[in-house]
Amino acid sequence: MDQVAALELRSVDLQSSRNNKEHHTQEMGLKRLIVRRGQLFTLQLHFNRPFQFQTDHITFVAETGPAPMELLGTRAIFSLTQARQGNVWSASDFTIDSDSLFVSLFTPANAVIGSYTLKIEISQGQGHSSTHPLGTFILLFNPWSAEDDVHLPSEALLREYILTDYGFVYKGQKRLITARPWNYGQFEEDIIDICFEILNKSLYFLKNPSKDCSQRNDVVYVCRVVSAMINSNDDRGVLQGNWGEDYSMGVSPLEWNGSVAILRQWSARGGQPVMYGQCWVFAAVMCTVMRCLGVPTRVVSNFRSAHNADGNLTIDTYYNRNAEMLPNQKQDKIWNFHVWNECWMIRKDLPPGYNGWQVLDPTPQQTSSGSPEERSVFMKASQKMLGPGRASSPFLDLLGSGDFQDQPAQLQLHLARMPEWGRDLLLKLHARRVADRAHPRAPIRLEVRFCAQALLHKGGAREPLWRQTVHLNLDFGQEIEWPLLLPFNNYGNKLTDEKLIRVSGIAKVKETGRSMLVLKDISLEPPHLSIKASERAEVGKALGVHITLTNNLTVALSNCVMVLEGSGLIDGQISNELGTLLPGHTIQIQLDLYPIKAGPRQLQVLISSNEVKEIKGYQDIFVAAAGAS
């Protein structure tokens, strides 16, 4: 009998395009293989002759990390078989077509995520064996797999929390919430590499690289590492926080349009923290990283967010007789809003009932106390005790100041018109006489002292910028509305970039000497930005965009700079210096974009100036595939 020639590998096709589409990773590109664990993917191996299953033996070796070991789960060795065998690394379901072998590889749903090298060893009986590299692939979490700890059984939620690469971050204050567009950009081709670079620069990896990589099969572990690495408090994390007012060494947190520019800058500069971030920037960047790695993630905003540092579950704020909010020497503060993340996962490390959305906060705060497990159980338990929508954590949902009992009048402050930066603010004090024990139905006299202060994001305030005193006489049952005017000249150059004002009033009852407090927090709206795009958008074809900004204010906007961003529409950013926009004048920008990817996209536009840092707008655009009719 003639001796059969030794089997030799001539070429390999990782079938990246087909596999990536089946694994929902095609948006990351089709040139390299990016797959999700717990799901088959197919390779084509081309040999010098037809493969013979009875005599040709093929063994696959997949490795990840700096020192791959089977014991650590970072090295897998598995032979070609005719059928798949459970939730383990396997090569099976093969077909032979002339000199080509098509084989399906399966990665277990609890495999370590990361960048893998793949090779095969070919042998015939006890004779010669040879090893051939097949290439590399990236393995991610798989929320489509019922066996994966991040499984999310809803296509609608998967589209929202994995596949959507743009969204909104909610800011402002509880009675005037503003939605700001954000470009998550998790599918930009280099972002997946930067995500693993973040893991590889963590303190855990630097201390013990092999152990760290071996724990990357655990979504809980990965989330904690990423949460620590988004800020740079005790490592070479992505963002440096800044809650002051001097951003001259970097970029104001208000001037970021998305995560991509931040992550790319961090990587390009060798892991030097990017300046600067605040809570919504930290949370938005973490959302990008976790969605990229395959973990369903969302950004959550909480308004009047109380930070309790001493554990007594109370926050004390002090005002003097002139209604001025006084500095607080304690760490306790009520933030205007706070933003964190929630990631979807099964918690095998906790008792039953704790699966689902898990709170993760990448904003650097005080040092945590207690184990992560204790904090997670505490969060769940406090939600049950306080009721839906409330949680007890270092950032506490403010339970609301209780109504003052037995007061002779009800006082409320209202805005009489939309508060716009650059215009005088018009408020109304609504006062109503009600029965009380001291003077059930007698008339009362009120002296109301008002004070306005620039409000800081972390809850403090600047020196008073406006004062006014009002005297009211109220008969029983009587209601009065008193107008209050806060001129632009009083606040124009005294606010922070976030344009927040607190108006406080202390009403003293002349008959009893008792006092009442009335408050109104005001978030000033920036000028409106108009964006219009051509009716039809197609990959590779010019898309006309028209941007208009009219300065309806009484002051000029100087050093205006426009930045455009939008994954799938623009590669990176487009930046233009626009100069000074005088009062009553209009800037009009006409430009053509050439969309890169098909599907729903969002164009984000930011115009910043010395006077107003955050004039933002967006336009949703559906891009047709190239050549689509």
Annotated catalytic sites, by residue? Answer: 279, 338, 361
Q: How far apart are CA 318 and CA 313, in angstroms?
A: 17
Q: How far apart are CA 412 and CA 403, in angstroms?
A: 12
| Total Cβ atoms within 10 A of residue 242 | 17
Strands (E), 400-478: 409-415, 425-433, 444-455, 461-474
Q: Which of 442, 444, 454, 446 is nearest to 429 (CA)?
A: 446
User: In the sheet that 75-79 helps form, which strands lie side by side, from edge to edge?
Assistant: 33-36, 129-140, 114-124, 56-64, 75-79
Q: How far apart are CA 331 and CA 338, in angstroms?
A: 16
Q: What DSSP string runs through 66-89?
A: SS--TTTTSEEEEEB-SS--SSS-
HSE toward the beta carbon, residue 386, CA cutoff 13 A: 17
Q: How far apart are CA 223 and CA 372, in angstroms?
A: 12
Q: How far apart are CA 45 and CA 100, in angstroms?
A: 6
Q: Which of 477, 418, 484 is nearest to 451 (CA)?
A: 484
Conformational region of residue 517, where left means phi above 0, alpha means psi within -120 to 50, and beta covers everything else = beta
Q: What DSSP string runs through 477-527?
A: T-EEEEEEEE-HHHHTTTS-TT-EEEEEEEEEETTT--EEEEEEEEEPBPP
Say if residues 526 and 545 touch (Cβ distance below 8 Å). no
What H or E segment, with its residue span, contains residue 120? strand 114-124
Give residues with Cβ within 8 angstroms of 567, minimum separation 6: 165, 166, 183, 184, 185, 187, 188, 258, 260, 597, 601
Q: What DSSP string runs through 87-110?
A: SS-EEEEEEEETTEEEEEEE--TT
Q: How far apart are CA 385 and CA 401, in angstroms?
A: 19
Give residues with Cβ within 8 angstroms of 443, minimum separation 6: 433, 473, 474, 475, 476
Say if residues 394 and 308 touch (Cβ distance below 8 Å). yes
Q: Give phi and psi for 49, each to the nearest 5.
A: -155, 170
Q: How far apart are CA 230 and CA 219, in angstroms?
A: 16
